[in-house]
Amino acid sequence: MRVRPIINSFDLQKRVIELSKVIEKDYEEVYVIGLLNGAFMFVSDLSRHIRTNVFVDFMKASSYVGDKSSNLNILCDISLDIKDKDVVLVDDILDTGKTLSKVKELILSKHPKSLKICVLLDKPSKREVDVKADYVGFEIEDKFVVGYGLDYNGFGRNLDFIAQIEI
């Protein structure tokens, strides 16, 4: 499998810090909910740079087998009580919108005070469901990417940059 870097480590970290500063200005206290497995690195770095009170929890939702989108399954729900709290839902990538749409509905059913979505990568050309991110790291073309938590059947998750893969 060949990889071609499209976002280097420096630019990635610079953008994560920029996003954290915007989120920091928006909230005195924020509940960050990351979607596993892909967003774990992004959530870690993002929350580490927010200087206001941050509570972190994770949800595990599965919607991909290889490079194909399938039905959403919630494998692990959050444990924090987010009722009347400001929540930022963090995911690695927004493409079809199917996953985030369903997860957003689930989070809203827990009655947060507010809910915003933060994604590292946005592929608007792939959108099938009307979902918009409030905070976006990078907009990318319709390419399959790995790195910084994103993977292809386990490959590439550990990279400190984002790369396009040729399957």
- Enzyme catalytic residues: 95
Q: Does 53 sit behind a cis peptide bond, omega within 30 degrees of 0 on the bond before it?
A: no
- Measured over all CA atoms, what is the biggest interatomic distance in the chain, rounded to whole angstroms? 46
SS3 annotation, the chain: CEEEEEECHHHHHHHHHHHHHHHHHHCCEEEEEEEECCCHHHHHHHHHHCCCEEEEEEEEEEEEECCEEEEEEEEECCCCCCCCCEEEEEEEEECCCHHHHHHHHHHHCCCCCEEEEEEEEECHHHCCCCCCCCEEEEECCCCCEEECCECECCECCCCCCEEEEEC
